[in-house]
């Protein structure tokens, strides 16, 4: 244990979150958004009064265009810049970062979709924040891991002309960013006629689409999280993101998961920076642990972004799963250290973000792909490489 309080172990964390000037990366890049998030982080977590404002705030700061080609109306850059954006926002408000994740991930689906017409139709309104993008693909991800069947079914439409068209029915119990002012949600559907499942973009105002009231969550309440039901919703090829969900998901998963890991990066950085707000004795007590976690976090961030940028995780998803598990561990440990250094102040309402970050950290292991899901998947892979083992099978070639 260190015997003196030193800012050195936090150097890398402070560099990422609070900077040499004491400003966070977001405060430098988008000061108005950073200030808005700091003022409202508690509200965004505990109630829905500001839920309509999050996407427009993110759009106004230019974050929805990050990593989107300029030719398509974006700001240029790469997906790793978008991961950084999610991390920067998560350091201020995890709820807002989750909304950004949903919106930016949906945008990524369009960028990687072969359906050019759909992209041209939806992208402009998604980039301005006029339309919210939601990703309801937990079900599809769990399907790939052989955990549950697809919950939406597409039946060929008898009234269709020569081009493919369907009636789609089913429901998804959890989707974030179902903004009441207008959304489009990505969902995977099994075809009654057989063949690979498709992924559709389902508009909020399509016939037969019903959004539930917001779910009664313990946190993240400003995220427009609700259930979505489709009853005989008519869709056609213009609404289809891909006609081969398993193959396409494997290609898109590194961006999906990379952006999601951005939430962990930002939250862990903020918690580690929070340990620095404790008194000198408390800081000294945890300085070594904080330093080690900061180093681990930097290394994980570097590996994550390099792997996503180089396409490594398309063929080696296990490495990405391991990174996600390791990051969740750092989030947990960092949040715990922040509780320790915050003392009683952290237990009083309105004095710090310590309690909120505890709730935020509790979400990290359960968002799909959940930690238990990934642990089983990694065990199954290890089992597959050892012929005598009997691990649960996954839909191989897709999930593994
Ligand atoms: C606030 C909030 C927002 C959300 N937003 C979205 C969203 O925008 N889009 C979306 O698609 N989903 C969303 N989800 C869903 C989320 O990503 C998880 O899918 C969901 O919480 C887990 O589903 P469940 O609780 O029904 O898991 P259950 O099916 O009840 O399973 C419990 C846990 O065990 C795991 N599990 C189950 N079977 C197995 C098995 N055979 N092997 C290993 N692990 C297994 C599951 O992954 C899960 O972690 C959200 C959830 C919450 C709480």
Closest CA to 177 of 219, 128, 211: 211
Closest CA to 339 of 282, 264, 267, 265: 282
Domains and CATH numbers, the chain: 22-130 (1.10.540.10), 133-244 (2.40.110.10), 246-381 (1.20.140.10)
pLDDT of residue 278: 82
Residues with CB under 6 A from ligand 1: 102, 134-138, 147, 174-176, 217, 220, 225, 366-368, 370, 372-373, 376
Could you report the per-residue pLDDT of 22-63, keeping only the tens digit for each?
568 999 999 999 999 999 999 999 999 999 999 999 999 999
Atom of ligand 1 minimally distant from the CA of 147? 41
Ligand 1 centroid distance, CA of 273 (Å): 30
| Strand positions, DSSP E, 3-121 | none
Ligand 1 centroid distance, CA of 121 (Å): 31
As given in the structure block, the two tokens for residue 290 are 């904080």
Atom of ligand 1 minimally distant from the CA of 217? 1
Ligand 1 centroid distance, CA of 366 (Å): 6
Ligand 1 centroid distance, CA of 257 (Å): 14
Ligand 1 centroid distance, CA of 232 (Å): 25
For ligand 1, mutation pick of 101, 252, 367 (most atoms within 8 Å of CB): 367
Ligand 1 centroid distance, CA of 279 (Å): 39
pLDDT of residue 145: 83
DSSP state of 126: H
Q: Cβ distance 41 to 92 under 8 Å?
A: yes
pLDDT of residue 163: 84
pLDDT of residue 247: 95
| Strand positions, DSSP E, the chain | 132-135, 152-156, 165-175, 183-191, 198-203, 209-211, 226-236, 240-242
Hey, which residues does 188 pair with through a beta bridge?
199
Ligand 1 centroid distance, CA of 171 (Å): 14
Alpha-carbon distance 63 to 259, whole Å?
13
Closest CA to 103 of 130, 121, 76: 130
pLDDT of residue 7: 36
Ligand 1 centroid distance, CA of 229 (Å): 17
The residue contributing the CA closest to ligand 1 atom 48 is 370
* Residues of the chain under the 50 pLDDT cut: 1-16, 20, 389-393, 396-400
For ligand 1, mutation pick of 46, 109, 138, 325 (most atoms within 8 Å of CB): 138
Atom of ligand 1 minimally distant from the CA of 376? 43
């Amino acid at each position: 244990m260190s015997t003196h309080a030193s800012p050195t172990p936090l150097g890398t964390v402070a560099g990422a979150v609070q900077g040499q000037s004491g400003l966070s990366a977001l405060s430098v890049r988008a000061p108005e958004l950073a200030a808005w998030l700091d003022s409202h982080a508690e509200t965004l977590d505990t109630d829905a009064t500001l839920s309509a404002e999050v996407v427009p705030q993110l759009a106004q700061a230019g974050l929805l265009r990050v990593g989107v080609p300029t030719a398509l109306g974006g700001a240029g850059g790469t997906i790793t810049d978008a991961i950084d954006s999610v991390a920067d926002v998560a350091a201020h408000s995890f709820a807002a970062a989750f909304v950004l994740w949903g919106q930016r991930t949906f945008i990524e689906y369009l960028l990687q979709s072969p359906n050019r017409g759909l992209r041209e139709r939806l992208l402009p309104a998604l980039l301005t924040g006029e339309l919210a993008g939601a990703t309801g693909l937990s079900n599809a991800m769990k399907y790939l891991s052989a955990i549950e069947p697809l919950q939406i079914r597409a039946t060929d439409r008898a009234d269709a002309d020569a081009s493919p068209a369907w009636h789609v029915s089913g429901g998804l119990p959890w989707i974030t960013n179902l903004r009441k002012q207008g959304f489009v949600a990505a969902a995977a559907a099994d075809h009654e006629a057989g063949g690979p499942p498709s992924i559709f973009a389902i508009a909020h105002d399509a016939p037969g689409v019903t959004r539930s009231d917001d779910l009664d969550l313990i946190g993240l309440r400003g995220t427009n999280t609700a259930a979505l039901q489709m009853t005989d919703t008519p869709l056609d090829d213009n609404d289809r993101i891909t006609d081969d969900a398993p193959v396409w998901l494997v290609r898109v998963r590194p961006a999906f998961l990379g952006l999601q890991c951005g939430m962990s990066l930002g939250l862990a950085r903020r918690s580690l920076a929070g340990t620095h707000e404790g008194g000198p004795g408390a800081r000294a007590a945890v300085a070594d642990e904080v330093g080690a976690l900061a180093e681990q976090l930097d290394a994980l961030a570097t590996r994550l972004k390099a792997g996503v940028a180089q396409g490594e995780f398309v063929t080696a998803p296990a490495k990405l799963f391991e990174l996600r598990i390791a990051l969740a561990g750092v989030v947990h440990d960092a949040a715990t250290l922040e509780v320790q250094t915050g003392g009683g102040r952290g237990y009083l309402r309105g004095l710090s973000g310590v309690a909120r970050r505890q709730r935020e950290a509790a979400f990290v292991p359960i968002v799909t792909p959940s930690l238990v899901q990934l642990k089983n998947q990694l065990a199954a892979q290890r089992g597959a490489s050892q012929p005598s083992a009997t691990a649960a099978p996954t839909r191989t070639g897709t999930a593994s």
